[in-house]
């Protein structure tokens, strides 16, 4: 199998274009954006729409979309199930606003694609969260009750029959569905955003890895072949953040999310009821998640796998998933009718988990004019649209609801230092896996539950959801 993520390879094959030329020589610009994924491109587009007179230059180390934006599951999910975390860090008023903003962003992305002719296979089929074993039943109730009490509940409870019909799996129970969600081909979306950004006048250089960012205003951004001077710089680096910004290493934990996708089987997908584009997640800590494609493939993924020491970008992040057998077993378990459908590809990628489970944005405290955004924690397809609005507002020095948001005030929580962080994360992951294996086999373990609670506390209670 090819090591390239399915979505990114598929988008490039359909596009059929060569890489954009790298930055060469010395240049000046009004804005430099480092990173050609969702966050960087949304920031470039939204800034350009506000300031068409500015020269905006975007630098990408490889091909735009080659990182997390072109290799995620393409599940368009919101912050509704993170309402408790939003309240904890930002208070109820802002939590309600951020939740509604994330729900609206689902529809705003769909509208943007329609207006700009981006054919990203986007389908607003909603989302289903449900229990995949007996132990998970009831886990949705606290957050749904909290949403209901706050007047924010957009979810509909499903009985077991409806849960199985919407999720496509007879294993699923006790579910809920929301219309503010769906699925998208992330490779086509990110390459479509690239096309729109360039059409608006954003200058993009691929194959331009940034070596250093520093100096007084204007900031000097150095690549392997060129130099760019700009008074405003955005670092939208995702998993590259710890390498270029080591001061944020304690706020992040890199962990792989691994995926497989089948060859097309449209008849079987339709028979399962998965042909509407809905995104589905179970309720374990390291969730299983799946969605179909318009041509009848099924993508299934699972987070919380490879944990590199020191947040280093392990070579396995750019290889076929070493967890393919585990994922294939899960696919056959959830969907016995797809057992004989061949797999088209497996892949993996680094997901940057923040200690709060929420992204953060801001200006570097000792580097004026340099802004950053990171930490989507597995929920970035929709939330990166909001990140683009925050970063664009910061670039323009606006005083608005985005710049006043708690999300724009920097990291909200930290992990323990190495080696405690890595050791704690390994122990927590191992305990979680043992608990979840026991739950799948209907063999609950109180000892493991107690052990898991203690380890989670020691490791900083990182949000491990995908």
Q: What is the pLDDT of residue 424?
A: 85
- Residue by residue, DSSP assigns 274-334 as -TT--EEE-SSSS-EEEEE-TTS-EEEEEES----GGG---GGGGSS-TTHHHHHHHHHHH
List Cβ neighbours of 89 (8 Å cut-off, separation of 6 or more): 356, 358, 406, 412, 413
The whole-angstrom separation of Cα 262 and Cα 292 is 9
Closest CA to 385 of 32, 33, 46: 46
What are residue 228's DSSP bridge partners? 27, 221
Tell me, what's the pLDDT at 459? 43
Here the tokens at position 44 are 């470039």
Residue spans of beta strands (DSSP E) within 355-430: 360-363, 370-374
Tell me what pLDDT residue 77 has: 98
pLDDT at site 2: 55
Q: Are strands 173-178 and 155-157 parallel, antiparallel or unpaired?
A: antiparallel
Predicted confidence at residue 463, as pLDDT, reads: 37
Backbone angles phi, psi at 334, to 5 degrees: -75, -35
**Number of residues written out for the chain:** 466
So what's the pLDDT on residue 419? 84
Residues 347/70, Cβ–Cβ less than 8 Å: no
Tokens of 96: 């309600």
d(Cα 316, Cα 311) in Å, to the nearest integer? 13
Cβ distance 146 to 200 under 8 Å?
no
Cross-strand pairs, 131: 173
pLDDT of residue 418: 85
Residue-level pLDDT at 303: 86
- Residue pair 61/366 in contact (Cβ under 8 Å)? The answer is no
Place of tokens 């979680």: 432
Whole-Å CA distances, 400 to 90, 360, 394: 16, 17, 9
CB crowding 64-85: b at 16 or more within 10 Å, else e: bbbbbbbbbbbbbbbbbbbbeb
The per-residue pLDDT for 232 is 98
Mean pLDDT by 10 residues, the chain (466 residues): 83 95 98 98 98 98 96 97 97 98 98 98 98 94 97 97 98 97 98 98 98 93 97 95 91 92 98 98 93 98 88 89 95 97 95 93 94 95 98 98 97 88 84 82 54 48 37
């Amino acid at each position: 199998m090819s090591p390239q993520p399915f979505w990114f390879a598929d988008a490039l094959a359909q596009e059929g274009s060569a890489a954009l030329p790298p930055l060469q020589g010395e240049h000046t610009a009004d804005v430099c954006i480092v990173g050609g994924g969702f966050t960087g491109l949304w920031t470039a587009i939204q800034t350009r729409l506000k300031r068409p007179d500015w020269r905006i230059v975007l630098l990408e180390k490889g091909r735009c979309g080659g990182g997390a934006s072109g290799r995620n599951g393409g599940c368009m999910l919101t912050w509704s199930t993170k309402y408790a975390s939003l309240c904890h860090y930002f208070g109820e008023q802002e939590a309600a606003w951020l939740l509604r903003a994330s729900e609206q962003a689902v529809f705003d992305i769909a509208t943007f694609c329609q207006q700009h002719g981006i054919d990203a296979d986007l389908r607003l089929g909603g989302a289903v969260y449900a229990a995949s074993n007996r132990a998970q039943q009831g886990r949705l109730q606290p957050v749904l009750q909290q949403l209901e009490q706050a007047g924010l509940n957009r979810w509909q409870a499903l009985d077991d029959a409806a849960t199985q019909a919407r999720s496509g799996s007879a294993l699923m129970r006790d579910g809920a569905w929301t219309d503010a969600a769906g699925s998208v081909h992330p490779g086509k979306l990110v390459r479509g955003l690239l096309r729109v950004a360039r059409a608006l006048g954003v200058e993009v250089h691929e194959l331009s890895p940034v070596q250093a960012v520093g100096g007084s205003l204007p900031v000097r951004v150095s690549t392997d072949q060129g130099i760019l001077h700009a008074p405003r710089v955005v670092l939208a680096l995702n998993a590259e953040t710890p390498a270029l910004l080591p001061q944020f290493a304690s706020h992040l934990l890199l962990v792989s999310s691994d995926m497989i996708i089948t060859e097309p089987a449209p008849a079987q997908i339709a028979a399962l009821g998965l042909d509407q584009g809905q995104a589905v997640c179970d309720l374990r800590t390291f969730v299983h998640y799946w969605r179909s494609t318009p041509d009848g493939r099924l993508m299934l993924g699972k987070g919380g796998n490879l944990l590199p020491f020191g947040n280093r970008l392990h070579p396995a992040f750019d290889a076929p998933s070493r967890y393919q057998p585990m994922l294939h077993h899960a696919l056959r378990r959830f969907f016995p009718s797809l057992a004989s459908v061949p797999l088209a590809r497996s892949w993996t990628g680094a997901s940057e988990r923040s200690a709060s489970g929420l992204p953060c944005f801001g200006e570097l405290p000792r580097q004026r004019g340099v802004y950053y955004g990171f930490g989507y924690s597995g929920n970035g397809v929709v939330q990166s649209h909001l990140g683009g609005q925050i970063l664009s507002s910061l670039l323009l020095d606006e005083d608005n609801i985005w710049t006043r948001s708690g999300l724009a005030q920097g990291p909200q929580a930290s992990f323990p230092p190495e080696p405690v962080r890595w050791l704690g994360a390994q122990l927590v992951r191992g305990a979680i896996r043992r608990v979840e294996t026991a739950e799948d086999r209907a063999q609950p373990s109180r000892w493991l539950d107690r052990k898991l609670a203690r380890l989670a506390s020691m490791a900083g209670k990182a949000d491990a959801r995908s």
